[in-house]
Amino acid sequence: MTDGIKSKKLERFVSELKAAHGDNLSSVTLYGSSAHDERDAAKHDVLIVLRRVDLEALRQAIQPVRDWTRGGQPMPVYFSQDELQRAADVFPIEFLQMEHARKVLYGPDPFEIVEISNANLRHQTEYELRTKCLQLRRLYFSSSSPDQLAKLMTDSLSSFAALFRAVLILHGASPPLGKREAVQATARVLGLDPAPFNQIFELAGKKNSKLVQVQAENLFGSYLAEIQRVIDAVDQIEQNN
C-alpha cells in the first residue's frame, strides 16, 4: 500500500502511474477540497509531475488515465518539473489553489520549487474578474425570465467565488476552501454588501427561483455592482504599488 493514502481508488491510481512512468515519475499530488480527507471525496483532482513530458510519456499513461476518468474522476493535470517552475507567472491562481490545499501522495512536494509573485497573481486575478464580468453582462441579454436570470447569477457566483480566494490572498487574508465562505470572507475584507451574494446562494439548487421580474432585476443590479467593487479593489492594488 502506498504510504499515507486512505482512498483505495487513489492508491490504485498512484500504483498504476508508478508502473507506467517508472523513474520518469517525480510526484503525484492530490489538491483541492478532497486533499483534506480523500476517503470522503467523490472527486479527486490530481497533479502529476514528470521529469520529462513527451509523447512517449503520455502514451504510457493512456490506460491508467482512461481507467481513472471512466470511474468518474477528473482528468489529471500533467506538468514537467521544468514547466512547473516556469509556468508560475501565467498560472498563479491555479497554482496557489493547489498549494493552499494539497496532499503529496508520491515523491517530493512539487510546490517547494514554485515561486508565485503577487504582481502576477494580481494581473491574472483582475483579468479573470473582468472577463467574467463582461460575460455576465452579455448573458444578461439572453436571460429573459426571472428563473433564467437566477440561474445566471447562481452559475456565475460559483466561478467568481474561486477568484475571490485569490482576492483574499492579495489582501493578506487566508482564503477558506468553501465557496460561500470565500465570498463571505471577501465581503468582510473589502467592506462589500453581502446581501446579494447570500440571496444568490439561497437560490442555488432551487428549480423555481420564486422571484418576479422586478426582484430578479434588482438582485442582478446589486450583484453586478458588488462584483464591480471587487474588480475596483483589485485594480487599486496596482495603483498603490
Supply the CATH number for residue 14's domain.
3.30.460.10
112 three-state secondary structure: helix
User: Are 97 and 138 contained in the same domain?
Assistant: no
User: Are 124 and 232 contained in the same domain?
Assistant: yes
User: Are 103 and 159 contained in the same domain?
Assistant: no
Average pLDDT, the chain: 91
- At residue 39 the predicted structure's pLDDT band, cuts being 50, 70 and 90, is low
User: Are 79 and 122 contained in the same domain?
Assistant: no
In order of 46, 77, 134, 155, the CA distances from 115 in angstroms are 20, 19, 30, 32
Q: Write out the residue range of the structural domain in which residue 32 sits.
A: 8-113
| Percent of the chain residues topping a pLDDT of 70 | 93
Lowest-confidence region among 5-19, 119-133, 158-172, 203-217: 203-217
User: Are 132 and 96 contained in the same domain?
Assistant: no
- pLDDT higher than threshold 70 for residue 112: yes
Supply the CATH number for residue 236's domain.
1.20.120
Q: With respect to residue 217, please indicate whether it lies within any of the assigned structural domains.
A: yes
The domain boundary residue, chosen from 80, 113, 146: 113
Q: pLDDT for 57-70, tens place per residue? A: 999 999 999 999 99
The domain boundary residue, chosen from 98, 113, 128: 113
Q: Which residue has the higher pLDDT, 42 or 130?
A: 130
Spell out where the chain has E strands: 25-31, 45-50, 77-80, 102-106
Q: How far apart are CA 152 and CA 154, in angstroms?
A: 6
User: Are 29 and 67 contained in the same domain?
Assistant: yes
Quick one: DSSP state of residue 74?
P
User: Are 151 and 217 contained in the same domain?
Assistant: yes
Task: Please state the φ and ψ torsions of residue 17, each to the nearest 5 degrees.
Answer: -65, -40
User: Are 150 and 87 contained in the same domain?
Assistant: no
- At residue 241 the predicted structure's pLDDT band, cuts being 50, 70 and 90, is very low
Q: With respect to residue 2, please indicate whether it lies within any of the assigned structural domains.
A: no
User: Are 179 and 193 contained in the same domain?
Assistant: yes
User: Are 107 and 131 contained in the same domain?
Assistant: no
The domain boundary residue, chosen from 59, 85, 113: 113
- At residue 175 the predicted structure's pLDDT band, cuts being 50, 70 and 90, is confident
User: Are 134 and 175 contained in the same domain?
Assistant: yes
